[in-house]
């Protein structure tokens, strides 16, 4: 589990607010200014050794101009 957490935290704008060592489940929050980068980052998580599945649970895109 530590190796997976370390690999995840190497991805820019990624954090792990909680995890369950018993079940091996992690809640991972990823942010990006570009949805394509976010999807690429999610896909890269699938290739981390030990990761079985990645599921997008919530997505928000702020379209407001700054």
Question: Does some domain include residue 66?
Answer: no
Residue ranges making up the domain that contains 15: 1-20+41-61
Task: Write out the chain's pLDDT in tens, 66 residues.
Answer: 999 999 999 999 999 999 999 999 999 999 998 889 999 999 999 999 999 999 988 878 777 776
Question: Does some domain include residue 1?
Answer: yes
Q: How many CB atoms lie within 10 A of CB 10?
A: 10
Question: Does some domain include residue 31?
Answer: no
Q: Which two tokens stand for residue 9?
A: 């935290």
Coil vs helix vs strand at 53:
coil
Question: Does some domain include residue 50?
Answer: yes
pTM (two decimals): 0.82
The CA distance from 16 to 29, in Å, is: 6
């Amino acid at each position: 589990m530590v190796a997976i957490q370390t690999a995840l935290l190497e991805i820019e704008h990624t954090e792990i607010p909680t995890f369950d060592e018993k079940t091996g489940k992690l809640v991972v929050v990823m942010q990006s200014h570009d949805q394509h980068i976010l999807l690429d980052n999610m896909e890269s998580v699938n290739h981390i050794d030990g990761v079985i599945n990645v599921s997008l649970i919530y997505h928000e895109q702020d379209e407001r101009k700054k």
